[in-house]
Amino acid sequence: MYDFKFRSNPLTRATASAAGTVFVVGLLLIGFAFLVFILKDLFAFLAATIFVLAGAGTIGFAVRLFIASRKFGRTVNSHEPYRENVRIHRGSN
């Protein structure tokens, strides 16, 4: 269960550690694959939910951009001398 052997070569220890990590990752991937196979309807629902939320967020962002472009187009084309939040600083000459 526990490996109490002393290995003097650091490369051997690093390789054994990497092999153990890769083995555990492989087992996790196989377990996840079985979960997806058994619960495919649940995972399909979760994926569809993510795509719907991403689409709604994208549409919301597009609407905000459209509204901002309409406001920007109105302020640029107007011939009024007053602009909100703009100050002109004249230097003392």
At residue 4, the pLDDT reads 63
Domain boundaries, the chain: 9-38, 39-77
pLDDT confidence bin for 38, thresholds 50/70/90 = very high
**Can you state the angle between helices 40-77 and 10-38, rounded to 10 degrees?**
90
Of all helices (H) and strands (E), which one includes residue 74? helix 40-77
pLDDT, average across residues 25-46:
92
Spatial distance between the Cα atoms of 31 and 47, rounded to a whole number of angstroms? 19
At residue 68, the pLDDT reads 87
pLDDT confidence bin for 86, thresholds 50/70/90 = confident
Total residues found in the chain within this entry = 93
Entry pTM: 0.49
Question: Residue 2: which of 20, 27, 24 has the closest Cα?
Answer: 20
pLDDT, average across residues 22-44:
92
For 66-83, how does the pLDDT look when each residue is reduced to its tens digit (9 = 90+)? Answer: 988 888 756 555 565 666
At residue 29, the pLDDT reads 95
Mean pLDDT of the chain: 82
